[in-house]
Amino acid sequence: GRVVDALGNPIDGKGPIEYETRARVDVKAPGIIPRKSVHEPMSTGLKAIDAMIPIGRGQRELVIGDRQTGKTAIILDTFLNQKPLHEADDEKVKLYCVYVAVGQKRSTVAQFVKKLEDAGALKYSIVVAATASDPAPMQYIAPFAGCAMGEYFRDNGMHALIAYDDLTKQAVAYRQMSLLLRRPPGREAFPGDVFYLHSRLLERAAKLNDENGAGSLTALPVIETQANDVSAYIPTNVISITDGQIFLETSLFYQGIRPAVNVGLSVSRVGSSAQIKAMKQVAGTIKGELAQYREMAAFAQFGSDLDASTQRLLNRGARLTELLKQPQFSPLKTQEEVAVIFAGVSGFLDPLPLSKVRPFEDGLLRYLREKHPDILDRIWAEKQLSDELRGKLHEAISNFARSFA
């Protein structure tokens, strides 16, 4: 619940921090033997991500996009979404959050902290800030310092999530230091070991096996691109290090598709094994349907005489795209996401006009929370949709759909 600088000194004016242990900032990542493959979900509370680009505990998922595309917003929502887990008071599922701000404005960091505080999420979060006014060595060391804090949880059988916002600025600070030290510059004037800088940082995010306490550290590094150029030096490096990327686009953001996730270019390489079965069952088709929809939509611009099946595909795609939009600061619980996406893929939205999709979703969630909390609880407890549970959910949604019209 504190804000510290890159050396762990408090900068939030709440007095000194009592500490028990000190840790090295730059330790080696765990080897291959102590690790285990990623298998527990780390839910972000964002439908688009949890359904199609699922993230597991111990995964490294890059959030990449131009400035002002909502990269930090995704991280903030993910932090806020961990609140129900902390209220459940089960140490095995709690996810502690670390946010490392590198080279950002102090006002931006203060805003972020205030949002966390207002939502009651600061009590399980740590903020490490090396702002734009701090010297380059501080900006360079901050991610490692934050990582050392996250590792404390990982090595003690707990779970932590760390966000580096953003690694572009860290690389720039490192370049500045290297050039001043007269090291030979490489591509884009970055030093030759800038890849090693990021790889040794991100390799420390891991899922440990049961002999080592079964803890995990999940990393969400952020990279800011210039004009969607993913082939610049730092973006390609970090894409090759991480286990997938969430690609945000300005054009989508301005079309009102927020979170502005480009579903075609975003992948999660290990997350699907961490998705709960219920989500796999409902979201399995959605990615394919949206891919078909994008392809069709490109064609449909030319011709107007479309056959019925194409028309159906376009309608469904537009409704699903609308369904995956989500306002900021309102992350959903996994079982609620399952219910909403189930409504989408079962065709309940097809008869509705586009403008009614969001009201339908809000109403449906309110209806399920008030009238059928048992269904939501069962999805969460059983983690999969049996035929009987699917029938109940279908019936509940049809009842609501009738009253909605």
Which residues carry out catalysis?
269
Give the whole-angstrom CA distance, residue 127 versus residue 30.
Answer: 24
Does the bond joining 259 to the residue before it have cis omega, within 30 degrees of 0? yes
Task: Say how many CA atoms lie within 13 Å of 288 toward its Cβ.
Answer: 5
Q: Are 266 and 245 in contact (CB under 8 A)?
A: yes
- For residues 105, 111, 116 and 119, what is the CA-based torsion angle, rounded to 10 degrees? -170
Burial (0-12, 13-18, 19+ Cβ within 10 Å), 326? buried
Q: Are 47 and 361 in contact (CB under 8 A)?
A: no
Q: Are 292 and 264 in contact (CB under 8 A)?
A: no
Give the whole-angstrom CA distance, residue 308 versus residue 88.
Answer: 49
Give, to the nearest 10 degrees, the angle between helix 357-371 and helix 387-404.
120
Give the whole-angstrom CA distance, residue 242 versus residue 60.
Answer: 5
* Max CA pair span of the chain: 72
Token code pair at residue 1: 């619940």
Residue with tokens 């979404």: 81
CA 145 distance to own-chain centroid? 21
Phi–psi pair at 388, nearest 5 degrees: -70, -45
Give 139's contacts (C-beta < 8 A, 6+ positions apart). 6, 102, 103, 130, 169, 170, 173
Task: Say how many CA atoms lie within 13 Å of 257 toward its Cβ.
Answer: 19
Give the whole-angstrom CA distance, residue 89 versus residue 208.
Answer: 22
Give the whole-angstrom CA distance, residue 221 versus residue 399.
Answer: 43
